Amino acid sequence: MAEKEEVKLLGIWASPFNRRIEMALKLKGIPYDYVEEKLLDKSPLLLELNPIHKKVPVLVHNGKTILESLVILEYIDEAWPHNPILSQDPYERSKARFFAKLIDEQIFDAGFVSMARADEKEALVEKTRELIMHLEKELVGKDFFGGKSVGFLDFVAGSMIPFCLERGWEGMGLEVITEEKFPEFKRWVKNMEKIEIVKECIPPREKHIEHMNFMVQRVRSA
């Protein structure tokens, strides 16, 4: 009988970076222990495992610590190669990585700051729309970013945009992504919401909107 693997995930319930890891683990069918961290009171374990950034998510696999959500996703795909989340085609993999960085660096930055800075709101909302339009074009003719099945870029984009940033925009009364301008994106979100492992990882709406409002207020008062 195979020895039981140690798989532990440290995260915060509202974090898109954490939720995408849970989606991947669930797709792979990997049992894991989950440790909920507190945003303002980080545990000694988290500080020990991630002394550089002191952030979630942190994945522990058989005593080895893996950090940074995009790195963790690729590690999961290589450590458990069944139900692959990245394409075997090098070009498709490179595109997925490029758009993942676009989402985590540019879309997240513009999208979140648009809630916190009233004086720059309109310009930042427009910048966010321009960036998301690249994803809109990528989804034409596809059920998911990789084609017919959910995978790496769906987890990254889904956890960050519809199941995080849009919650914050909703709380601020902003409608950034409309059905009229982003029909492919909206169709993709509906497809994502039909996937059981994705549904299990979507934070509860009202609680999440409240959390995003709290985060915006923190940035404004900093």
H-helix or E-strand containing 70? helix 69-79
Residues 33 and 67 in one domain: yes
Residue 47, pLDDT above cutoff 50: yes
Q: Over the stretch 202-218, which tens digit does the pLDDT of each residue have? A: 999 999 999 999 999 98
Half-sphere exposure of 111 (CA within 13 A, CB side): 28
Residues 62 and 155 in one domain: no
**Residue 1 maps to a domain:** no
Residues 39 and 97 in one domain: no
Residues 23 and 120 in one domain: no
Coil, strand or helix at 60:
strand
pLDDT band at 102 (very low <50, low <70, confident <90, very high): very high
Residues 64 and 172 in one domain: no
DSSP secondary structure letter of residue 172: H
Mean pLDDT score, 12-41: 97
3-state DSSP of 21-45:
HHHHHHHHCCCCEEEECECCECCHH
Residues 195, 108, 115: CA angle, nearest 5 degrees: 110
Domain limits for position 13:
7-79
Mean pLDDT score, 126-147: 97
Arithmetic mean of pLDDT over the chain: 95
H-helix or E-strand containing 157? helix 152-160
- Please tell me the distance from the alpha carbon of residue 67 to that of residue 76, in angstroms, as a whole number: 12
Residues 173 and 213 in one domain: yes
pLDDT band at 117 (very low <50, low <70, confident <90, very high): confident
61 Cα distance to chain centroid: 21
Mean pLDDT score, 9-33: 98
Angle between helices 16-28 and 69-79 (to 10 degrees): 10
CATH number of the domain that residue 33 is part of? 3.40.30.10
> Structural domain tally of the chain?
2
Percent of the chain residues topping a pLDDT of 90? 90
Tokens 């610590």 found at: 65
Residues 73 and 99 in one domain: no
- Enter the tokens of residue 37: 């961290």
Residue 167, pLDDT above cutoff 60: yes
pLDDT band at 221 (very low <50, low <70, confident <90, very high): confident
pLDDT at residue 5 in the model: 92
Task: With beta carbons less than 8 A apart as the criterion, state whether 93 and 85 touch.
Answer: no
Residues 47 and 112 in one domain: no
Residues 58 and 97 in one domain: no
Residues 149 and 208 in one domain: yes
Q: Show Cβ contacts of residue 92 under 8 Å, excluding neighbours closer than 6 positions.
A: 146
Strands (DSSP E) along 68-222, which ranges?
none
- Please tell me the distance from the alpha carbon of residue 16 to that of residue 79, in angstroms, as a whole number: 22
Task: With beta carbons less than 8 A apart as the criterion, state whether 168 and 112 touch.
Answer: yes
pLDDT band at 1 (very low <50, low <70, confident <90, very high): very low
Residues 75 and 114 in one domain: no
**CA distances (Å), origin 108, targets 113, 168, 194:** 8, 12, 24
